[in-house]
Amino acid sequence: MQSIQFPSRFLPGTTDNFVSNEVITSDLTTVDVWRYLVDTSKWEHYYDNASNIRLTNGENSLLHYAERFHFDTFGFPIDAQVMELVAPSDDDPAARLAWHGWNKGDADSSIDVYHAFLIEQLPDNRVRLLTQESQIGKAAAELAVQHPNPMLNGHQAWLDGLVKAAKENY
């Protein structure tokens, strides 16, 4: 579970933009973090770069394997589908979540992404949160050359907000 498994099309280093962010924190468990990550009704409370979140199942706000959903982020309306969802368990406290997201706009605004999270329990009551996103498209290439990289900063804000929400039991 130490690394994210990318589909070959999104292999880091071969796409137009790739970012990786990590936080290691103490006094949390993977379960503490997981519940704020998979519950999309919590996202806007701790991450101001996600809005207009809608799940197609309409039953609740929890992501499920193969779930389709929509959200707005980084100025893009994104449609997405959960491609991997492994919740933490007593047998394995590590967790994984990944989705394929896309915006099928015109040639300038079209973007295709694979975004994944890995949450691992570490010794000494610590948790590692890793998120990585690999992007394809002209819009992704334009994001990649911006300094500072908005994806890098935005995803760091997501992890920092996730930790804060889990610690505060928001």
Burial class (CB in 10 A: 0-12, 13-18, 19+), 61: middle
Tokens of 71: 């959200």
Distance in angstroms (rounded) separating the CA atoms of residues 115 and 16? 14
Distance in angstroms (rounded) separating the CA atoms of residues 26 and 122? 9
Per-residue pLDDT at 87: 96
DSSP helix, strand, coil percent of the chain (3-state; round to 5): 25, 40, 35
Note whether 41 and 63 are within 8 A (CB): no
4-14: pLDDT as tens digits? 999 999 999 99
DSSP per residue over 108-148, as a string?
TT-EEEEEEEEEEEETTTEEEEEEEEEEESHHHHHHHTSSS
CATH class of 9-168: alpha beta
Residue 104 DSSP symbol:
-
Distance in angstroms (rounded) separating the CA atoms of residues 72 and 75? 7
Per-residue pLDDT at 170: 61
42-91: pLDDT as tens digits? 999 999 999 999 999 878 999 999 999 999 998 889 999 999 999 999 88
Distance in angstroms (rounded) separating the CA atoms of residues 73 and 157? 13
Note whether 132 and 12 are within 8 A (CB): yes
Q: Output the pTM of the full model.
A: 0.94
